[in-house]
Amino acid sequence: MRMFWKIGLLLPLGLVAIASGTVKSSAQQQDSVSVIPEPAHVSRGNGTLDLRHGLGFDTSVADADAVGVARYLQGLLATTGDGGLMKSSTKGVPQLRFAHRAVHVPRAGEDESYSLEVGADGIVIAASSRAGYLYGAISLWQMLAHNSGEVAAWRIEDEPRFRWRGIMLDSARHMQSEKFILQLLDYMAEHKLNRFHWHLTDDQGWRIEITRYPRLTAVGGYRPQTMPPYQPGSFAPTGPYGGFYTQEQIRRIVAYARERNITVVPEIEMPGHATAPLVAYPEYGSAAKPLTSMPVGWGIYPNLYSPKDATFAFLEDILTEVMELFPSEYIHVGGDEAIKNQWKENPEIQQKLHALGLHDEDALQSWFMARIEKFINAHGRKMVGWDEILQGGLSQNATVMSWRGMQGGIAAAKQGHDAILTPNRPLYFNYRQSEATDEPAGRDPVNSLADVYNFQAQPAELTPAEQTHILGVQGSIWTEYILTEDRVQHMLFPRAAALAELAWSPTAPKDFMDFLQRLPADLKRAEDAGLEPALSVYEVEAHAMPVGAGDHASVILSTQGALGQIHYTVDGSQVSATSPTYREPLSVRLPATLHALAFEGNTALGRPITQQITLASALRRDSRELDPCGNSAGIQMEQDPIRNAERPVFRVVYSRPCCVYRKADLDRFTRLTVGVGSIPYIFQSQGKQLPSRSDATSTQAQIAVHIDSCTGELLAKVPLQPAYRKDGLITLPAVSFPRQTGQHDMCFAVEGADAATVWVLNYIQPMGGDER
């Protein structure tokens, strides 16, 4: 799969800028500054700075902030192989100097602006704060990385568009290592992102050590297994699944972030998403029966904290320890997806609701959050919550994080409240980023790199005064279906770079193609740091359709970003910049081996694809190429725990397991087989109880194959029995159907499944005729 491909060929060492279709070496005059995020103002100076003998920095005339930032810069240069560039000598080499200046622009919060001037005799970074020094040094590093010769003279005046430039990581569902968190913080700093929103608690896990309540982690930090396999013992992990971050680890992470001008904002969910803490301490729950076991499913659980005094004492104790660990101005308290059935059914809670003079449970949640906010405010902090905290009335000083589109942020700003925009379309990075068949697991539909880059973060409905309440933007990644750190990297990078430019750079002009030209250098730096970003925007996708008697195929090549030119071969030779240029659909004789790669000038964008094209492969459809029936968005997921090294990705639509193969060429096949898997039903929805696996019996489930629509003529039935309660990918026996003519949609709908089983689809393979 592409996410495991290294990108060493993406930008050859010593090549630093792409312009006008050619790559310019470091010794040549540079026509643009390849910096991400793009600076606010850039002007070209005269001449170049000769760095062949290094760049000096004199610690004896620098303040402590400058010395610290210079050391940080030297560390950055070391990651890109340029560690020897900076010298302590002041003789015979140009100098790097840091200059303190007055606050550049009066604003709430820290002045993060800087100026960077590269002249023929040296470099000057000027700022009013350490943050400005830091960001000037990061821009300089991007200009110097992989460059040991000359750098053009430039002047940059730069400042951020938004105060809040964030990434949210869910560590509750699948936990990441401390090492990974530090890597993420490095990447954020290198892109001038300054808020790390850390989702530490949820139904499936409590990840923060609270010394006063050790059962939160001893019990709530672990679930019996990650997700249940069908064959007991076949893929079950050894022992409980989970873990937590110790307070010592958290202090290290917070200090590491602070050195990089990043504030870590903890999230402690309430009143919902609270199953883990309520299994540990059930006396603070609202359910009629105390919770006794940790869940192993996803979705929205109905378990809420009880709004009684003892619960608030419990939560205030927790928040006290949280605030001791995190000096953040903001404390995130969740507030989302609180299903209130337990409050409605609990007589004591209903009595309290009426005693408080509240008209419904939404108002009770508002009262609950207002009481928590008062406690947080009393400790000199501010409360932030998801946009559901608007329901029932917003707390006095609360900040709204808008995720269900823009409306929550708009409503908050109109009420005079601050808001942060992280709408799931397009700023949720657990959504897939391309339509490619080798994209890893993620939600549908696609949030592409361009979608992120072009997001309009200034709602037209707001007046200029109301716009000032939009603190900034955030990219968020939830990890229910993002099981491992390499998958998280693939989903975050480089969309986080596009987010950084959205958050930092001026509103206009914005040029996605210019961003794509600056991105290869950024991806190379990410590779240098040991990361594996997605190359989806550059890499070639090939779509083959059989033509004629089935001995030829028409092949369409494309890239998501449409940058550069695609070169290809079909004669078995490796592809290069001198290979034929793709201009129109190819006609290839089957079978054929296609090599294809996009180039900008002589620079390869990504890695070449190699695809064996046969009649069978041209007819095959991966689940990622199918449409869900109706309007239900699907989830592309791996089986959890991971079943094998291939890690097949399956489409699942919990509400309706049904998919459509568009425009099937039924002149060419009369048989087909299907690759499927099955998982226990693990998606809690709107407070409904999960089906009991003990209720499941031997199934007569089948896939009904209809022509033209899901109510059209029945062509075939594919029995699912061979795959029932088996882990992994199972290829079902082929079935035949009467010959048809022409192109038709084919509907594949699961029927007769027991309630405890979810059938997931990996591919559909037509068969029949000469399958060259």
Structure tokens belonging to residue 470: 């939009």
As a whole number of angstroms, the distance between CA 395 and CA 416 comes to 12
41 is catalytic: no
CA 173 vs. chain centroid, Å, equals: 14
Q: Comparing C-alpha atoms, which of 137, 2, 169, 155 is closest to residue 70? A: 137
Cis upstream peptide for 691 (omega within 30°):
no
Q: Comparing C-alpha atoms, which of 627, 625, 619, 624 is closest to residue 638? A: 624
**Cα distances (angstroms) measured from residue 387 to each of 15, 305, 322, 337:** 46, 19, 22, 10
Sign of the torsion angle spanned by Cα atoms 606, 608, 610, 613: positive
Residue that has been written with the tokens 């979608």 in this structure: 451
Other CB atoms within 10 Å distance of the CB of residue 641: 17
Which segments of 504-591 are extended strands (E)? 540-547, 552-559, 565-569, 586-589
Other CB atoms within 10 Å distance of the CB of residue 646: 10
The per-residue b/e assignment along 137-151, b for 16 or more CB within 10 angstroms, e otherwise, is bbbbbbbbbbbbebb
Among 111, 158, 202, 361, which one carries the catalytic annotation?
202
345 is catalytic: no
Among 337, 435, 451, 528, which one carries the catalytic annotation?
337
Other CB atoms within 10 Å distance of the CB of residue 54: 16
Other CB atoms within 10 Å distance of the CB of residue 523: 23
As a whole number of angstroms, the distance between CA 284 and CA 291 comes to 10
H helix and E strand count, the chain? 18, 42
Work out the widest C-alpha separation in the chain, in whole angstroms: 86
Q: Which residues contact 409 (CB under 8 A, 6 or more apart)?
A: 387, 400, 402, 419, 420, 421, 459, 470
Among 174, 191, 197, 273, which one carries the catalytic annotation?
273
273 is catalytic: yes
As a whole number of angstroms, the distance between CA 346 and CA 351 comes to 9
Cis upstream peptide for 641 (omega within 30°):
yes
650 and 762 Cβ atoms separated by less than 8 Å: yes
69 and 137 Cβ atoms separated by less than 8 Å: yes
As a whole number of angstroms, the distance between CA 10 and CA 598 comes to 10
171 and 106 Cβ atoms separated by less than 8 Å: no
Residue that has been written with the tokens 């940059």 in this structure: 156
Beta-sheet strand order (sheet of 658-665): 627-628, 658-665, 743-751, 702-707, 714-719
Q: Which residues are catalytic?
A: 202, 273, 337
